Copies of this chain bind each other. A is one copy, B any other.
Amino acid sequence: MGEAGSHVEGSRLDPWVDSYATRAKNLSASAIRALFAVASRPEVVSLAGGMPYVQALSMDDMADIAAQVVRDRGPQALQYGSGQGDVSLREQILDVTAEVGVHAHPDDIVVTTGSQMALDLVTRTFCDPGDVVLVESPSYVGALGVFRSYECDVVHVAMDDDGLIPEALQQAIDAARAAGKNVKLIYTIPSFHNPAGVTQPAHRRAQILEIAQRAGIAVLEDDPYGLLGFEGEPPRALRADDDQGVIYLGSFSKTIASGLRVGWAIAPHGVREKLVLAAEAATLCPSNYAQLTVSQYLATQPWREQIKSFQEVYRERRDAMLESLQAMMPAGTTWTIPAGGFYTWVTLPEGLDATAMLPRAITELVAYVPGTGFFVDGQGTANMRLSYCYPDPDRIREGVRRLSTVVEAELEIARTFGTAAGTPGSLSGSGESSTPAPDLA
């Protein structure tokens, strides 16, 4: 860790340190990042990353598509385009969102450089410093980073195995308002949650919408995994039942390829106008090259079949992970049962600290993301996010086997000394959420 640690923020003199904006203070590299630099060696089984398995695509087909786009529409693909995004692609996006019940006009869509950029634009449009954003417990690390970078007051709301708890949401709104706070957004990932691995059932979605509508607070629905369910039809999006109160974020990162960086927001008219203007200030326009590649892919490839094949890949990996956890994890360890998406959320036995345990895990050649990264308030010490999206089933089994020996060893220490190892130099748990490394997203 010494090597990586020397690159952590603040370790060199910075003559501009007094010139930064207040919001820049919320941008700091975490010690965990440095650790992951060490953990990227090939011998480490990473259950940490959120990288989709793009190798499932036919690279020959993708290469042909890329060439066609340039050969047939080069002067458009290589040129500036609309700040709102290519209009043909916006029409095609509606074919995709129809799968989760979302119907809109192409004019309601803003294409962005991944849906991370849409998160940024929505926050920039809605949130002054100190405004409250309600988020799940835990929540997506990349969203927490955005909210913090705009100096929002991020408030966690409890979840259970059915996701965000409506009563807790109502209480959080009441409490924030009683404290004189301005609640601007309810940020939720209703389907195949990152990192919690849970999904809101339909009745709960209706309750959440009703609470938001009654309170007059916009819902920011983040749905990158909605089409990656393992059984039955995709869950119906919140936006499908409220076109004025919900801002819907989608992405091709998990259904086609993350390296294209093509995502989108669907928003009520006035919000959409603001988002386009904010997008033009942020990047002028999304890449026509990437957009037309997606458009050509959707027009010429059996994309629904490809999504089915992604579902099968990920279901097999989910099964490998759940079976291994069941077979190998010490008693007292629990985890969520994801019905789709990339992640399961593990709770360690009483007394163990997932952040403190990480260096030992990496020594044992397995990596995960400690739970504290998904909170802004130090919760999550007993949790870890395990990803099954990228390694193959054998690697997953080997990773869980290594992890189980680490947990066993920590338990042994706890039994011997009465507490888990908080050795000098162990990682501090709080405040790690500000900056997602891209491969952890």
Contacts and interface: CB of A to CB of B under 8 A. Distances in A.
A398 interface: no
B283 A120 contact: yes
A59 B71 contact: yes
A28 interface: yes
A22 B128 contact: yes
Contacts of A438: 80-83, 280, 284-285
Interface string A121-146: 00011111001000000000010011
Interface in A2-22: 9, 12-17, 19-22
A116 interface: yes
B62 A270 contact: no
Contacts of A273: 9, 14, 29
Interface string A277-291: 110111111111110
- Determine the main DSSP class of A at the interface with B: helix
Contacts of A283: 113-114, 116-117, 120, 261, 283
B83 A19 contact: no
Interface in A91-131: 113-114, 116-117, 120, 124-128, 131
A176 interface: no
Interface of A: 9, 12-17, 19-24, 27-29, 50-52, 54-55, 57, 59-60, 62-64, 66-71, 74-83, 113-114, 116-117, 120, 124-128, 131, 142, 145-146, 149-150, 184, 218, 244, 253, 257-261, 268-271, 273-274, 277-278, 280-290, 293, 434-439, 441
13 contacts: A21-B125, A21-B127, A55-B75, A62-B70, A63-B70, A66-B66, A66-B69, A80-B438, A116-B281, A142-B280, A259-B288, A282-B282, A284-B438
